[in-house]
């Protein structure tokens, strides 16, 4: 919704927005764009008399502002539908869908098109460091100063659209190029099982034109089931025994790109983990469909700077590095830790976790947590506001895991445990009470005393 607000502002509209809680980097981005932020959902906001209310999916019936809008018959629309009608219509949309990696992959793809001079528009659920903003309208390409770029890259979410539209957001986007990065069970608050999510992914497949391209993860049986339900577009796969493959990967991240078994070049970068290599392959294939040569994509990826809150270094104190990462699903936690382990070798990793997503709060994934945290040497879990016991869930790794309901006590425990050369990895899909800076401050105090 913040990104949609930015696009509307760039299109010349006056934009205001409200939420119960906004935090960086989105809050600071909106303020920098001159977008007014209002705390809370007071019905008094109708006095602004907007042309239309663009409603996000966090708004439910019973929300005081929404009830006022409904009672007075004021005009409203969902964010994805407004986007489809006002921004995406007539564009070559490149949509990135999947349980994991949507933000990073969308950022990579937008950067490749930018590097190639195609000046795409984009809407991404994070802030790509190559751009510094999460959204922008298509720009004028360098090679054609008389026209606006037709390309638009969008992070395509399977979560529902709004309280009045229970379809997945991505069915509104109608991509010409669709990336299906991976697919496993998530969003237990709205989906009963994996089959229900696969059905929504097939709704997306149904919107891709015959001349379009679907780029799919060849390792995912769930995605093959989606395609088996019916597919009317060309499909290119990436991963094992697929069209696109990564080979000769090194610990630092660099790898060779193969297409149909033939070497295409080598990506030289510092991003960690197999998941990022898979993201890169998907982007190379999608960009090729938009007319970008493979060698250009490979060169662009060597200059990709990642996304804020994706293994982002927040500070180094007394040779202790503190990272921030968006990981919150057990699979993402496991792959993030594996990537950091490959980087730091035998150095200690202190994992700091907040199970904050709707799925995690329901406890659906709690049994998978211990295995996902195996690569961590110590685990500190913030278990407040859960409907289940984090301490009980982490019992299989009780020798290295501690849970806390008090943020200050959690920070104090981390401060006591941390040693020089440690790596502290904070994982949450929310603001986590600013715990990153609290840890850095505590480590600084300890260093000063020492």
Place of tokens 């792959």: 335
- The pLDDT score that the predictor gives to residue 308 is 63
Same domain, 136 and 13: no
> What are the phi and psi torsion angles at 420 (to 5°)?
-50, 140
Q: What is the extent of the structural domain holding 366?
A: 312-449
| Nearest residue to 411 (alpha-carbon basis) of 390, 437, 376 | 437
Coil, helix or strand for 244? strand
Per the model's pLDDT, the better-predicted residue between 364 and 215 turns out to be 215
What digits encode the pLDDT tens for the residues 321-373? 999 887 777 878 887 888 788 778 899 999 999 887 766 766 777 888 888 89
Asked whether the predicted pLDDT for residue 447 surpasses 80, the reply is no
Same domain, 168 and 34: no
Same domain, 14 and 156: no
Coil, helix or strand for 319? coil
The answer as to whether 306 is a domain residue is no
Q: Do residues 60 and 32 lie in contact, with contact meaning Cβ atoms separated by under 8 Å? A: no
What digits encode the pLDDT tens for the residues 140-198? 987 767 789 999 999 999 989 999 999 999 999 999 999 999 898 776 676 778 899 99
d(CA 11, CA 115): 24
Q: Do residues 412 and 340 lie in contact, with contact meaning Cβ atoms separated by under 8 Å? A: no
DSSP of 95-108, one letter per residue?
Answer: EEE-SS-HHHHHHH
d(CA 203, CA 161): 14
Per the model's pLDDT, the better-predicted residue between 403 and 122 turns out to be 122
Proportion of the chain above pLDDT 90, given as a percent: 56
Same domain, 60 and 142: no
Q: Which of 80, 102, 135 is where one domain is finished?
A: 80
Same domain, 295 and 319: no
């Amino acid at each position: 919704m913040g990104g949609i607000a930015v696009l509307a502002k760039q299109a010349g509209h006056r934009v205001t927005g409200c939420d119960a809680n906004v935090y960086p980097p989105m809050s600071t981005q909106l303020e920098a764009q001159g977008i007014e932020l209002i705390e809370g959902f007071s019905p008094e906001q109708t006095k602004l008399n907007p042309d239309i209310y663009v409603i996000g999916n966090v708004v439910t019936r019973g929300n005081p502002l929404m009830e006022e809008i409904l009672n007075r018959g004021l005009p409203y629309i969902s964010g994805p539908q407004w986007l489809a009608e006002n921004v995406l219509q007539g564009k070559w949309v490149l949509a990135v869908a999947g349980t994991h990696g949507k933000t990073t992959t969308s950022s990579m793809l937008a950067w490749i098109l930018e590097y190639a001079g195609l000046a795409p528009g984009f809407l991404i659920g994070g802030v790509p460091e190559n751009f510094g903003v999460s959204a922008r309208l298509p720009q004028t390409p360098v090679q054609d100063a008389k026209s606006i770029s037709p390309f638009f890259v969008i992070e395509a979410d399977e979560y529902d659209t709004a309280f009045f539209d229970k379809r997945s957001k991505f069915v509104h986007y109608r991509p010409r190029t669709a990336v299906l990065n991976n697919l496993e069970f998530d969003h237990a608050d709205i989906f009963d099982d994996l089959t229900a999510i696969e059905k929504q992914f097939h709704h997306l497949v149904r919107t891709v034109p015959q001349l379009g391209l679907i780029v799919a993860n060849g390792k995912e049986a769930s995605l093959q089931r989606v395609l088996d339900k019916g597919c009317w577009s060309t499909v290119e796969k990436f991963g094992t025994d697929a069209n696109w493959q990564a080979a000769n990967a090194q610990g630092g991240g660099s790898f060779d790109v193969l297409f149909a078994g033939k070497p295409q070049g080598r990506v030289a970068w510092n991003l960690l983990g197999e998941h990022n290599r898979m993201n890169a392959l998907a982007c190379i294939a999608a960009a090729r469909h938009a007319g970008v040569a493979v060698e250009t994509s490979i060169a662009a990826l060597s200059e990709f700077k990642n996304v804020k809150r994706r293994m982002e270094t927040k500070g180094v104190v007394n040779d202790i590095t503190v990272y921030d990462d968006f990981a919150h699903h057990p699979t993402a936690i496991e792959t993030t830790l594996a990537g950091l382990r490959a980087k730091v070798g035998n150095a200690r990793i202190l994992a700091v976790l907040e199970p904050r997503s709707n799925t995690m709060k329901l406890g659906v994934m709690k049994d998978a947590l211990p295995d996902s945290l195996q690569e961590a040497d110590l685990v500190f879990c913030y278990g407040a506001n859960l409907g289940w016991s984090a301490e009980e869930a982490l019992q299989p790794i009780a020798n290295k895991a501690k849970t806390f309901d008090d943020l200050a006590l959690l920070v104090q425990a981390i401060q006591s445990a941390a040693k020089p050369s440690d790596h502290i990895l904070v994982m949450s899909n929310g603001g986590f009470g600013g715990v990153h800076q609290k840890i850095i401050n505590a480590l600084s105090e300890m260093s000063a005393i020492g």
